[in-house]
Each structure stands twice: as C-alpha cells, then as structure tokens.
A = this chain, B = another copy of it.
Amino acid sequence: MKARPARPARPARRERVHARTKEDIIASAARVFARDGFSGSTMEAIAREADYTAPALYTYFKSKDEIFASLVEALTEEFLGVFEEPTLSGITFVQRLELLLGLLFGLAERRREAFVVFFSLTTNQDLLPRKRGDQPRVPGYLLLLERTAAWFEQFAPKPMLARHPASELAQFLFGVCNAFFMGWLSPENEATPLAKRSKLVLKLFLSGAGNPSATVVPVGDR
C-alpha cells in the first residue's frame, strides 16, 4: 500500500456541496414562506420548490422551525451587511444616503421573496414560528431598524437630527421604502425595476410630497 497524504480536501468539497444545498433549500423556503406564511407552508411544499422530497430536508435541517430560523438569520446578516460597506470620506450625507438606498434596493431586487418574509416580520407574527401563545421573539426587522437609527446618528447632519431623533428618521425612511416595496411586490408591478424608485424615495424622504404652504395655498395650521 503506497503512502499517500491524507486527503483533507475531499471532505471539504462534501461540506461545500452540503452548504450549497442548505442555501438552495433556504432560498426555496423563502419563496414558499413569502407565498404562504410560516404556518401555511408545508415541508412538502418547501421540498417540492427545491426539487426534493420532504424527508430529504431533514438531512439538512432538524425541523421546519430550524429552516425558518436559518432563513431569518441569513437575511439579517445580509441586510446588516449593507451597512458594513467601507465608509467613504468626502461625500455628502445625501450622497451617502443615496448609496445606502441603492444597496438596499439592490439587495431587495436580488432577494425578492426573502424580502417579503423579512418585512412581514414587522406587522405579522405568523411568520414567526412559535408555540401559540409564546412571547414573540425580537424580529430581525427590529435589528435592522436599530441599525438604521445608528447609521443616522453617525451620518445625519446636525440640523436634521435636531428636528428628528435618529430612531424617528429610521422609522420614516423605512416607511417610505416599505411603501414602494409593497407596490413593487404586488404581482402586477412585478416588471418595474425597484432601483429606479430609489431616487424617488430619496426625494420624498428629504423633502416630502411638497408642502403646499411653501408653494402658494395659504394653510391655516395652527
């Protein structure tokens, strides 16, 4: 028997394939969860979406809950990654915000279904797997909101922060994004590229719909 160096590379390949399959399954799960919600999604549906049979999923995940948890974790990581871009110097806040929105919208474009899941974590608890009656966990969404608030704290110009606390700015920004995501997510608008709306969101965030009192109409607000 000839001596041969141990083959440490081979198990690595196996692992890579395994990890890749897990990602595939998570991606399929994202589509199904987005379509049917957590309770509404069956292992069989997720499996079918990934071209497997239901029991095969158990080779990769311990349970339906674990699939969902993995999905949320992956999403959170990706979204938070948007904020970890190298901090450019010498650019204005508006440019920086534009950049952020670009990245965010790009991500949404690539991860369409995942996005639905993620944003659903906001309003709707059903996507969260939990024994009925349990306390809801902190949704990944809140993390994102907090991270955005921190971002504003760091980069927003003083006068803006003077008028609005960072958390409020974050909430507002999310609201505006959300509104257009929704439009984009609805089936009929599927074709419209999300990125084009980035500019619009930026403008609305900064200046609103346009204050009529600033234009002509005299307004009697107290």
Residues of A near any B CB (own CB < 8 A): 34-40, 45, 87, 89, 91-96, 98, 116, 119-120, 122-127, 132, 136, 142, 155, 157-160, 163-164, 168-169, 171-183, 185-187, 200, 203-222
Contact = CB atoms under 8 A, between A and B. Distances in A.
Given A36-B132, A208-B208, A209-B160, A155 B93 contact: no
A164 B201 CA distance: 12
Contacts of A124: 34, 37, 116, 120, 123-124, 126-127
Given A119-B123, A214-B207, A172 B182 contact: no
Contacts of A93: 212, 217, 219, 221
A34 B120 CA distance: 12
27 contacts: A36-B125, A37-B39, A37-B40, A39-B40, A92-B213, A94-B212, A94-B213, A94-B217, A94-B220, A95-B219, A95-B221, A96-B221, A98-B221, A119-B123, A120-B124, A123-B123, A157-B212, A157-B220, A160-B210, A163-B209, A164-B209, A168-B200, A169-B209, A171-B183, A172-B209, A174-B182, A206-B212
A213 B157 CA distance: 10
B172 A179 contact: yes
Contact of A186 (B142, B173, B210): B142
Given A183-B171, A212-B92, A39 B126 contact: yes
B125 A35 contact: yes
Contacts of A142: 186
A163 B203 CA distance: 11
A203 B155 CA distance: 22
B37 A215 contact: no
B94 A182 contact: no
A37 B34 CA distance: 13
Which 10 residue pairs are nearest across A and B when measured between Cβ atoms? Answer: A37-B126, A175-B179, A208-B208, A39-B39, A39-B40, A206-B211, A120-B124, A94-B219, A92-B219, A207-B208
A55 B212 CA distance: 56
B95 A159 contact: no
